Structure 1
Amino acid sequence: MLQFLRAPIAALLVAALATPAFAAVPVPEGNRSKTQPSIDMSSIKRAGMTKESFEQKYSQIYGLLKRDKGLIRSIKKSAARYGIDPIHMIGAIVGEHTYNVGAFDSAQGYYVKALSYLGTKDLTFGFGGKTIDQFLAQPEFDQCDKATNNYDLWTCREDVYDASFRGKTVDGISYPRDRFSKVFFQPLFAGQTFGLGQINPLTALTVTDIVHRTSGLPLLTADQAPQVYQAIMDPDMSLDYMAAIIKLSIDVYRDTAGVDISDNPGVTATLYNVGDVKVRARALAQARKRNKNAWPEENYYGWLVNAREAELRALL
């Protein structure tokens, strides 16, 4: 499932459209691995609970996309707004619904669900009796105030949480040894990622300024949990959030590792699945200093997307 994208990718939030100082090297098309990498055990367990094979789940989401021409048009429009090939969005949607969740019968189901979240007025983000705003008002987080964009801001806050609160007892509150996004941004029992693109609420907050600037959608804030859930559940909004997240990954790999992943939907799907894009791009940059043949590699999720690329492109 999509995790919080760390640092989830940062200078490019200020200069996402700037020309890089070097020419990025195109990543070869297709998969680096001849066989599919091992599927995550959590995906295997979820498939076992539903008694559906991955092939059945793939066919289900593929069928939804094939039937819903309006959804495909919306995907193309969102992709165009952010300057990406819509195959990247198709790949992420198919990957999430093949390995992580089941699909509604049509996109209409997501609209209905989004409205139900918007109507939950007492829905808040928080933990241990504190709202997220109360938690972030503590002096440990003052250092994050210098951030100039949402991505840097929330990355800093997660780093502070990891260093000062995660797995510790502070002021009588015992904080789990778990991710910031899971502890503070999962008030619903259903899980921590939602909607057609399976977006984490915290991930939405990290790109809301980009989406506001590019699409004109309202800025989201952490004290507006129902609105955050609506944004990641309603396809009219969530598709733009998906596109922003994917564009961010492409730009980070270009600017940090000097590679162009825009023609490899399996790589972008992998990053959509695992997150930590900036960290991974930095690791690749170091690897390429030692070996110019070092490339980003797809996981089981991205491998499927590349293996079925021709079939997926037929949807477009």
Structure 2
Amino acid sequence: MVSLLLCLLTAAYTSYPAKALAGATVVPEGNRNASQPRIPFSSARRTAANQSSYDAKFDRVVAVLRRDGSLIRSIKRVAAIYDIDPVHMIGAIIGEHTYNYDSLDSAQSYYVKALAYAGISLDFAYGGENVEDFVQRDAFDTCRAQGRDSNRLWTCYERVWERSFRNRHVDGVRYANKNFNETFFQPLFAGQSFGLGQLSPLTVLKMNDRVKRTSGLPTLTARDANEVYRATMDPTISLHYMAAVLRDSIDAYRRVAGVDISNNPGLTATLYNLGDPWGRATRYREARAAGRVTWPQENYYGWLVNSRLSTLRSLL
């Protein structure tokens, strides 16, 4: 079971670029699991507390998207820029708001919220020290030696934090037993992810270079927390970051494991939910080489996307 969870992913799509990625084996469409994998207790508790059900939340999210033709057109436009089927973006939105969040607002309301965040003084810091200053410590030198790509850099920072600082005494300081994102990127203590795509500020910083290369949007820095939050909240920007996350997952599995998951929205939704696609692609490749698995598998979140794919496609 552990090996399966390490390489979670899967889904299906029919109309968009049907070409396989060069040199990659196409992962079959649909779910590998006959029944939905276990839903985490935290999601079940949150849903019960709001006197709702997953089916009701799914239906509500679908209804909001169906009414918002402008948003659907924006999703299609951004998906084309990143060369992905737009159903991957629909799947990520629906999965997030069915399991990890309790409502979906209109795109306009997220734009208004982004403006509200712009008026608040924000700082990505721990103990009064900005994260950009914190990662200048010698422990992070190996990260900078790998190059300046934002995804590799911030992923490396995250791993060094886990290995060398989390819940440890270092140079007379006791550091929190929290992950990197929780420690530095929640100045409002309002949750770990935000907006239409439920992105975290750390994810936005990781994807900044890819978004800049693909869409020409500005460079972001952790020293300007307000701009990072704007990219997280404002749909005109955050859709690009959602697409970048999904494109990154497809590229990770092609380059590392030699498989093409671009025809399987349940797999990209699973990775959107879990994160760390490059590490997961590596573990999947190793598990497959050892004969423990054949294909990447979806989690509960991706399973929903694959099982409701006809409904998701009807939105497009």
Query: 2:154 matched to which residue of 1?
Result: 154
Regions of 4+ moved over 6 Å:
none
Query: 1:268 matched to which residue of 2?
Result: 268
Distance in 1 (CA, whole Å) between partners of 2:265 and 2:138 is 42
Q: Which amino acid aligns with 1:78?
A: V
Query: 1:210 matched to which residue of 2?
Result: 210
CA contact (8 A) 2:47 2:102 kept: no
Alignment of 1:1-316 (within 5 A): 23-120=23-120, 122-146=121-145, 147-291=147-291, 294-316=294-316
Distance in 1 (CA, whole Å) between partners of 2:22 and 2:71 is 37
Distance apart, 1:274 and its partner CA: 0.6
Deviations 1:34-60 (A, max 9, x none): 111110111111112211111111111
Q: Which amino acid aligns with 2:221?
A: T
Deviations 1:280-316 (A, max 9, x none): 1111111222339611101110000000001100000
CA contact (8 A) 1:232 1:238 kept: yes
Q: Which amino acid aligns with 2:49?
A: M
Q: How many residues align?
A: 296
Distance in 1 (CA, whole Å) between partners of 2:217 and 2:241 is 10
Distance in 2 (CA, whole Å) between partners of 1:186 and 1:105 is 21
Deviates more, 1:249-258 or 1:275-284: 275-284
Unaligned runs of 5+ in 2: 1-19
Distance in 1 (CA, whole Å) between partners of 2:33 and 2:21 is 31
Deviates more, 1:249-258 or 1:161-170: 161-170
SS at match of 1:38: coil
Distance apart, 1:176 and its partner CA: 1.7
RMSD after superposition: 1.7
Identity of matched residues, %: 54
Query: 1:3 matched to which residue of 2?
Result: none
- For the structure 1 residues 236 and 251, does the alpha-carbon distance in structure 2 shift closer, same or farther, using more than 3 Å as the test? same
Q: TM-score, normalised by structure 2?
A: 0.90
- For the structure 1 residues 215 and 289, does the alpha-carbon distance in structure 2 shift closer, same or farther, using more than 3 Å as the test? same
Q: TM-score, normalised by structure 1?
A: 0.90
CA contact (8 A) 1:284 1:294 kept: no
SS at match of 1:36: coil
